[in-house]
Homo-oligomer: A and B are copies of this chain.
């Protein structure tokens, strides 16, 4: 039986399998440290489209097509899509996924959406509501700058605490335990921890890592408490896009709760770019950051057994330009997914 664990977690007795996944990224990500690991790197960040939003839609479409193809399935086998992006009213997802004609649950958790989508996908498969589902999330540097900050043509300056929105989409196909026909899956999702909104009163939208670190702290502590684990029970605890500034704050906040995760922590935003040479400030960010890094970098390490168990914790900053301009704080949320090797 799947079980409620503690105050915010679920443990899946028949853990849903990730049977296919894909990452599609832009040019800057294709020049970074993970370049060799992505499935597809665009030649041009417009991906053949007329505008940035359509380019981001194109990223989602390609990532999902690739992930389904790699899973050996057909789009018609996929019963539900769980998808989202950073843009107002999720237009990257709506326009990117409409041609698939698959029943859709649109999600928004800012940069935590990849975790939210994987969590709901796992819940759906583990309950027997679907044989196959897919989770898709994306971000695009240029559409995000236009949405949240300034049009690129303004060439605004950025403080070093700012992060750089990843141009990329990640897609994951999940299946029930008995549905993979003997083929070894990439990993299984054995549990989830669902985050609550955490707001420490931060207001600096050029320092998202600081705004999101308290949500990551809440989620990680809740996960460890609910599952009765210590940090070393995970080979890695992986945040989505805290960046170097957020990481430091996360360590400080967790140490106040008696946890030291420094030996197992990695942050997708710190892995995807070379901060010394790529001018990205504190690191990468965006729904696409965690999604593409999980797909390209961590899932293969679970598939080959190099990692046995990880806690994947994308975090999201729940602001909009409207709330920012009204002087509001930046609430944040995190979604946790426990992934284990299938060996």
Contact B10 A106 (CB under 8 A): no
Stretch at the interface among A79-87, A233-241, A265-273: A79-87
Contact A90 B318 (CB under 8 A): yes
A106 to B10, CA, bound (A): 18
A26 within 8 A of B: no
What is the CB-to-nearest-CB distance from A105 to chain B, in angstroms, rounded to a whole number?
6
Residues from chain B with a CB closer than 8 A to the CB of A321 are: 88
What is the CB-to-nearest-CB distance from A124 to chain B, in angstroms, rounded to a whole number?
7
Chain A stretch 49-99: residues in CB contact (< 8 A) with chain B: 50-51, 53-54, 79-80, 84, 86-91, 94-95, 97-98
Residues from chain B with a CB closer than 8 A to the CB of A179 are: none
Residues from chain B with a CB closer than 8 A to the CB of A90 are: 108, 318
Contact A103 B320 (CB under 8 A): no
A32 within 8 A of B: no
Residues from chain B with a CB closer than 8 A to the CB of A106 are: 107-109, 116, 318, 333
Chain A stretch 143-183: residues in CB contact (< 8 A) with chain B: 146-147
What is the CB-to-nearest-CB distance from A60 to chain B, in angstroms, rounded to a whole number?
12
Query: A9 — nearest CB in chain B belongs to which residue?
Result: B103
Contact B104 A195 (CB under 8 A): yes
What is the CB-to-nearest-CB distance from A43 to chain B, in angstroms, rounded to a whole number?
23
Residues from chain B with a CB closer than 8 A to the CB of A326 are: 50-51, 53-54
Query: A10 — nearest CB in chain B belongs to which residue?
Result: B129
A100 to B199, CA, bound (A): 12
A10 to B323, CA, bound (A): 38
A120 to B105, CA, bound (A): 9
A110 within 8 A of B: yes
Per-position 1/0 for A195-212, Cβ under 8 A of B: 111010000000000000
Contact B197 A322 (CB under 8 A): no
Query: A131 — nearest CB in chain B belongs to which residue?
Result: B4
Per-position 1/0 for A1-35, Cβ under 8 A of B: 11010001010000000000000000000000000
A40 within 8 A of B: no
A102 within 8 A of B: yes
Per-position 1/0 for A103-133, Cβ under 8 A of B: 1111111100000100110011011111100
Query: A116 — nearest CB in chain B belongs to which residue?
Result: B105
A315 within 8 A of B: no
- Chain A to chain B contacts (Cβ below 8 Å), 21 pairs: A2-B128, A4-B129, A8-B103, A54-B326, A80-B194, A87-B322, A89-B108, A89-B319, A89-B323, A90-B108, A94-B197, A94-B318, A94-B331, A97-B197, A98-B197, A104-B196, A105-B107, A105-B120, A106-B107, A108-B108, A127-B129
